Amino acid sequence: MNPTIKLTGVVKRFGKFTAVDGLDLEVPAGVTFGLLGPNGAGKTTTIRMIMNITKADEGEIRVLGEPMSEALQERIGYLPEERGLYRKMKVIDQILFFASIKGVDRKTAMERLERWIDSMDLRPWLQKKTEELSKGMQQKVQFLGTIVHDPPVLILDEPFSGLDPLNVVLLKDFLTEFKRQGKTVVFSTHVMEQAERLCDRIALIYRGKKLLDGTVKEIKHAYRDRVPLPPPVEPEPELEKIFIKAVEESGLSAPTAEALR
């Protein structure tokens, strides 16, 4: 089967600086793919080139076997690294606007997002202006915009940054569900624990070049003798779990629509 995303010899230069240097990448269909690498490695640049927001100087990029086009864009859900919303717009209008530029009508959009809105506790905020939302909540709105057209391919640039542990868990659940639905997901992250738990395959890039590429299992196997194993640890509760427990036990719940009025 054709890979969902395929990059061959992709190069991107900014002036004299080469940000992406002859990158080859293959993301098979239905796979959750982690794009890892230090700051400035070229992850965002690569993702932007896949989305055709910046143009590659050399090389070839294919998504679902085709070069990027407007029709193809409608089959991809893209979450950019720099999130952005219209500050003065109501949350619901914002979501419907995202739907309309993806060619989804209001009714379909609302039906499709019903469940997500509730699981993200966004319903009381729908009539609020975006600027009244906290950063994390804005990010959830943005995420809804990414999935409103139910795309088979998702490309997420650091989707976890800025989210609290509760929402990190929520997003992990979403990604797991997408994988179950057979969607292809590519995301970049700096948190290895997430990559390890969620990804089938990862690629590590550095200075625009690929250092590692393969299934998590293969890579672990290859490095087994060269990387020291972690010392056995005394089992103790993880801080993340404590965070979630404490919030639960506070007996407080997310604000209701009445409380916000």
Partner 1 sequence: MSAVNPKLLAVIRREYLQQVRSKAFWISTILIPTLGLGFIFLQVALSKSLIAKGKIGVVDLTGRLYQPLLAEYAARGDDDEDAAKKAEEARDEEGRRNRSLSTKIDFFKVDATAATLPDVRRKLNDDVQKERIKAYIVIPADALQKGDAEWRAQSVKSDLVMRETIASLLSRAATKERLKDQGVSPDVYDKARLKVTLDPREAKEVETPEASKNAGFNLAISGIFFFLIYISIFVYGAFIMRGVLEEKNSRIVEVIVSSVRPTHLMLGKIVGIGLVGLTQYAVWALLTLGLTLPAVVGALGLGATLPPIPTGTLVAFVVFFLLGYFLYAGLYAALAAPFNTEQEAQQFVMIPGMMLVLASTTWFFAFNSPNGMLAQVLSFIPFTSPLLMFMRISVQPPPAWQIGVSVAILLVSIWAVAWLAGRVYRVGILMYGKKPTLPEIFRWVRQAD
Ligand X SMILES: Nc1ncnc2c1ncn2[C@@H]1O[C@H](COP(=O)(O)OP(=O)(O)OP(=O)(O)O)[C@@H](O)[C@H]1O
| Footprint of partner 1 (CB under 8 A) | 51, 53-54, 70, 73-74, 76, 78, 80, 82-89, 93, 97-98, 100-103, 142, 145
Q: Which lies closer to Mg ion via its Cβ, residue 31 or residue 35?
A: 35
Candidates 4, 44, 167, 189; binder of Mg ion (CB under 5 A) is 44
Answer yes or no: are the C-beta atoms of 77 and 149 closer than 8 Å. Answer: yes
* 164 Ramachandran zone, left/alpha/beta (phi>0; psi -120 to 50): beta
d(CA 19, CA 208): 5
163 phi and psi angles, rounded to 5 deg: -95, 145
CA pseudo-torsion sign 166, 169, 173, 174: positive
Q: In the numeric block, which tokens belong to residue 128?
A: 């609020």
Site string for ligand X, 63-92 (x = CB under 6 A): ------------------x-----------
Segment 228 to 247, residues that bind Mg ion, using CB under 5 A:
none
Residue in 25, 23, 34 with CA at minimum distance from that of residue 6: 25
When CB distances are held under 5 to 8 angstroms depending on the partner's kind, the choice from ligand X, Mg ion, partner 1, none that residue 101 binds is partner 1
How many residues bind to ligand X according to rule CB under 6 A?
A: 11
Answer yes or no: are the C-beta atoms of 257 and 124 closer than 8 Å. Answer: yes
Q: Is 194 in the site for ligand X (CB under 6 A)?
A: no
DSSP at 212: E
When CB distances are held under 5 to 8 angstroms depending on the partner's kind, the choice from ligand X, partner 1, Mg ion, none that residue 37 binds is ligand X
Q: How far is CA 2 from the centre of its chain?
A: 22
Q: Which lies closer to ligand X via its Cβ, residue 167 or residue 188?
A: 188
Q: Is 39 in the site for ligand X (CB under 6 A)?
A: yes
Residues that bind Mg ion (CB under 5 A): 43-44, 81
Q: For binding to ligand X (CB under 6 A), which residues are involved? A: 14, 19, 37, 39-45, 81
